[in-house]
């Protein structure tokens, strides 16, 4: 099962929307069955420290996602840093060129199953939207004609003059909020640089119910390490695979707890957590796992968790609550998922950029009113997390 999920929309009504699967998130795009854990604690009687490490909101990045043309709103907000200083932002279901300035709304139905946004280095202006030009949904990644099956991007990496984007393939499977399923196949799209043109789709090995592509770590040994999850009532188990950077479509091996094996059945969980909607990246000297509390509708989980490791194969530190989102409309919190860290955007205060997705407030509040919706209820938010708050051993 994926670590982030989004329901399929009917043609005339937008329901609460990885993915894993992004959504989303999230397998970056299937519902994770996990235990909801109740944390209790004692209130400290000590006065607050003046210089205590605190998470803050990043207004500049949040406003960057409040766009009125090109890509207007969506979920995911996974980023791929590029060697020329640009960043490729990846989104799932997205509204494209559909913002009405008078009502400040968009149609309830999105226009693309996936999209990209290229941000220039050190700039919040002139970002370029990447979508497709064919019939039907204007999806950037579309392997075959038609809109079913479709792709939700989970992440990516650059190797030489090619960006490789991991895609989960979904198809319609029933009706209702979660009327979709995996086709059983994932792909890696190749994009040429600097043009950002999609040139090919490479099938990846069958992953037997584990959703990989939830982050990529390039190490000096020439391997790319990627992470997958599998959920159960006991929690979310994390697995590690690796492949050569120049051949991401073949020769995958999996960590079995002692060595690397080409048999996925023998892969061992390197970490178990109550967090879902997981992504992994390398931040300076640490491997950083980011996840969320379980949320599939309004007024459910609101917490963001993080964990670190000194090695791609673990062990990982205990899951630590970093932040509780405070997005509220009429006293209700949103459907929330896919927190993701972006190490290329560490600021001068040694604060890591983290984004997360929200997807409306149903069933507490309606999303679609007279065929229109508020795009702010379907746009990523951004926060800043001090590195030392995540792990005191950051250097």
Residue-level pLDDT at 51? 58
Residue-level pLDDT at 19? 36
Q: What end-to-end distance do the CA atoms of the chain give, in Å?
A: 35
Q: Report mean pLDDT in 10-residue bins for the chain, 395 residues.
A: 39 36 37 33 43 92 98 98 98 97 97 97 95 93 93 96 96 74 92 97 84 94 95 93 94 96 95 97 97 97 98 97 98 98 97 98 96 98 98 93
> Using CA atoms, how far apart are residues 147 and 4, in angstroms rounded to an integer?
21
Q: Is residue 31 part of a domain?
A: no
Q: Is residue 82 part of a domain?
A: yes
Q: Is residue 241 part of a domain?
A: yes
Residue-level pLDDT at 189? 98
Residue-level pLDDT at 177? 57
3-state secondary structure 270-314: CEEECCEEEEEEEECCEEEEEEECCCCCCCCCCEEEEEEECCCCC
| Count of structural domains within the chain | 1
Residue-level pLDDT at 322? 98
Q: Is residue 50 part of a domain?
A: no
Q: Is residue 269 part of a domain?
A: yes
Residue 136: domain span = 56-390
Q: Is residue 34 part of a domain?
A: no
SS3 assignment, position 343:
helix
Q: Positive or negative, the Cα torsion across 130, 133, 134, 135? A: positive
CATH number at residue 155: 2.115.10
Q: Is residue 9 part of a domain?
A: no
Q: Is residue 131 part of a domain?
A: yes
Residue-level pLDDT at 223? 96
């Amino acid at each position: 099962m994926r670590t982030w999920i989004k329901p399929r929309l009917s043609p005339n009504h937008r329901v609460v929307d990885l993915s894993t699967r992004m959504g989303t998130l999230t397998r970056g795009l299937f519902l994770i069955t996990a235990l909801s854990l109740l944390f209790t604690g004692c209130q400290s009687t000590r006065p607050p420290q003046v210089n205590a490490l605190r998470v803050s909101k990043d207004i500049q990045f949040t406003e960057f996602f409040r766009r009125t043309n090109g890509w207007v709103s969506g979920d995911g907000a996974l980023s791929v840093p590029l060697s020329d200083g640009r960043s490729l932002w990846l989104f799932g279901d997205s509204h494209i060129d559909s913002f009405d300035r008078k009502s400040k709304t968009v149609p309830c139905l999105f226009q693309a199953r996936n999209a990209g946004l290229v941000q220039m280095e050190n700039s919040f202006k002139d970002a370029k939207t990447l979508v497709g030009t064919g019939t039907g949904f204007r999806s950037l990644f579309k392997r075959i004609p038609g809109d079913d099956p479709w792709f939700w991007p989970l992440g990516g990496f650059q190797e030489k003059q090619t960006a490789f984007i991991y895609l989960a393939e979904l198809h319609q499977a029933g009706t209702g909020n979660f009327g979709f399923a995996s086709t059983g196949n994932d792909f890696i799209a190749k994009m040429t640089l600097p043009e950002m043109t999609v040139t090919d789709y490479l099938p990846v090995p069958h992953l037997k119910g584990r959703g990989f592509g939830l982050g990529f770590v390039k190490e000096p040994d020439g391997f790319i390490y990627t992470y997958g999850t599998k959920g159960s009532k006991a929690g979310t188990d994390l697995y590690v695979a690796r492949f050569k950077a120049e051949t991401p479509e073949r020769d995958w091996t999996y960590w079995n707890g002692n060595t690397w094996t080409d048999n996925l059945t023998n892969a061992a969980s390197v970490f178990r957590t109550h967090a879902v909607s997981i992504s992994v990246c390398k931040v300076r000297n640490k491997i950083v796992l980011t996840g969320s509390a379980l949320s599939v509708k309004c007024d459910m989980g609101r917490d963001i968790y993080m964990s670190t490791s000194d090695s791609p194969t673990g062990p990982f530190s205990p899951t630590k609550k970093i932040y509780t989102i405070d997005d509220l409309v009429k006293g209700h919190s949103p459907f929330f998922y896919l927190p993701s860290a972006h190490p290329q955007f560490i600021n001068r205060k040694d604060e890591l950029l983290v984004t997360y997705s929200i997807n409306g407030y149903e069933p507490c509040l309606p999303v679609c009113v007279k065929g229109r919706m508020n795009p702010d209820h379907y746009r990523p938010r951004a926060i800043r997390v001090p590195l030392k708050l995540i792990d005191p051993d950051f250097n």
